[in-house]
Amino acid sequence: MSKLKTETQNSKIELNAFLHTELEPIVPSPLDSQALAQGDGELKGLKLAIKDNILVKDWPATAGSKILEGFIAPYDATVIKKLKEAGATLIGKTNLDEFGMGSSTENSAFGPTKNPWDPKRVPGGSSGGSAAAVAADLCDASLGSDTGGSIRQPAAFCGITGLKPTYGSVSRYGLIALASSLDVIGPFARDAETVERVFAAMSGEDNKDQTTFNYTYKPVDADLSKLKVGLPKELWELEIDPEIKSAVRSVVDWLSSKGAKIIDVSLPSVVYALPAYYVILPAECSANLSRYDGIRYQRSVTKDSQKLIERYMDTRALFGSEVKRRILIGTFALSVGHYDAYYQTAVNVKDKITSDHERVFKEVDSPVRF
């Protein structure tokens, strides 16, 4: 037992998957929910790690940024409250690219996380700490957040299962905002069944987040022989690593062998998703990150006889390079003379992508995505 514990501790340090390693686990008590009081709780005993941009009461939350160093969360995010009620044990906070801006976890102000399969490689990002912790067996499951691939991509890089839920199916209350119209919290685990259990416990409508919709997770026994799967031709035409393309192809062939109907579909606007994202994300984050003003969230750079604006500017010097770059782009895209050409155009493209998907979902049950 002690040997295993030592190995786990060493692994935590070598991978740099966890921040604030001094934290004591939070074990739910029977007072947290009726289910736990009755000895139930669907996640009882599950060891869960939390991305450090999700608030856990009385624990630090840095979002991987120096600007939030020393901040202690005053309340639980809705997902944390629900997961505690379901009996999950919270074991720690995981590393991420600063405010979720990155795809490798190298942009964390607290050093990069390494991939447990090969420490010379990155674990992906921005939820790289959460993915690495699960892959290295340091926890049973973890929470990440996804704004533009930040759960899907590290899950793939670490060889585990990650779920980016539909926007609005999980509350964002207590998630440190990056781009509010895209952010969503989702689970990682080594198997799909655990991902499903965590998602079932954390999802659903929340009065504290008005973008959530009336939703209760229900397991569906899919009859593959009746499934209609769409192949979007625009995605197959993109330049994608042949190994990945062939892996996706083999899944499509497997579905076909089980009787699923494979149908060619068209999503013409989807190739514009990335440039639109490059406008919408910085625009929203430049507004969201204006709150780090050296007054709120404890951290500030103070010098004598400073004016308010100087305090603001000096504190914001704590942002890393990637964060500054995106704030600059967002400010540019929202400024007079550029708003219509950049922000309004990107939002129009987003609307077109939505309507293209609505059309395709009338033709098939699910389109295949890379």
Partner 1 sequence: MPELSREEINHLAKLSRLTLSDVEKEKFAKQLPEILDFVDRLSVVAKMPSEKTTQAVPLAKLRPDEETSEKLSLETLKKLAPAWHEDQVEVPAVFEN
**Where does this chain touch partner 1 (CB under 8 A) — which range of 35-43, 231-239, 251-259, 321-329?**
321-329
Q: Which stretch binds partner 1 (CB under 8 A): 45-53, 60-68, 289-297, 356-364?
A: 289-297
- To partner 1, the closest distance from the beta carbon of 293 in angstroms equals 9
Nearer to partner 1, 38 or 214 (CB): 214
Bridge-based pairing state of the strands 141-146 and 184-189: antiparallel
Q: How far is CA 23 from the centre of its chain?
A: 22
User: In what order do the strands lie in the sheet containing 228-232?
Assistant: 261-265, 228-232, 366-367
Q: Interface with partner 1 includes 40 (CB under 8 A)?
A: no
Residue 85: which region, alpha, beta or left (left: phi > 0; alpha: psi -120 to 50)? Answer: alpha
Main-chain phi, psi angles of 48, to 5 degrees: -120, 130
- Catalytic status, residue 103: no
Nearest partner of 158 among 169, 142, 179, judged by Cα: 142
Residue (175 or 327) nearer to partner 1, CB: 327
Q: Is 47 a catalytic residue?
A: no
Contact status: 166 vs partner 1 (CB under 8 A)? no
C-beta closer to partner 1: residue 71 or 157 = 71
Stretch that binds partner 1, among 123-131, 243-251, 256-264, 346-354 (CB under 8 A): 346-354
Q: Is-catalytic flag, 29?
A: no
Residue holding tokens 């912790």? 133
CB 211 within 8 A of CB 177: no
Q: How many CB atoms lie within 10 A of CB 259?
A: 11
Cα–Cα distances in Å, from 135 out to 63, 140, 145, 190, 302?
A: 21, 9, 17, 7, 42
367 neighbors 356 (Cβ within 8 angstroms): no
Task: Pick between residue 12 and residue 316 the one whose CB is nearest to partner 1.
Answer: 316
Q: Among 65, 104, 108, 126, which one carries the catalytic annotation?
A: 126
* Region 197-256 residues binding partner 1, contact defined as CB under 8 A: 205, 207-208, 210-214
Please choose, out of 104-112, 131-139, 194-202, 274-282, the segment that lies near partner 1 by the rule CB under 8 A. Answer: 274-282
Binding to partner 1, residues 62-101 (CB under 8 A): 71-72, 74-75
Q: Which residue has the tokens 């905002």?
A: 177
| Type of residue numbered 228 | K
**To 5 degrees, how large is the angle CA 273–CA 279–CA 285?**
120
Q: Is 11 in the site for partner 1 (CB under 8 A)?
A: no
- Taking the least distance from each CB to partner 1, the nearer of 193 and 239 is 239
Which residues bind to partner 1, rule: CB under 8 A?
Answer: 71-72, 74-75, 168, 180-181, 205, 207-208, 210-214, 269, 272, 275-276, 278-279, 283-284, 286, 290, 294-300, 302, 306-314, 316-317, 319, 321, 324-325, 327-329, 331-332, 335, 341-349, 351-352
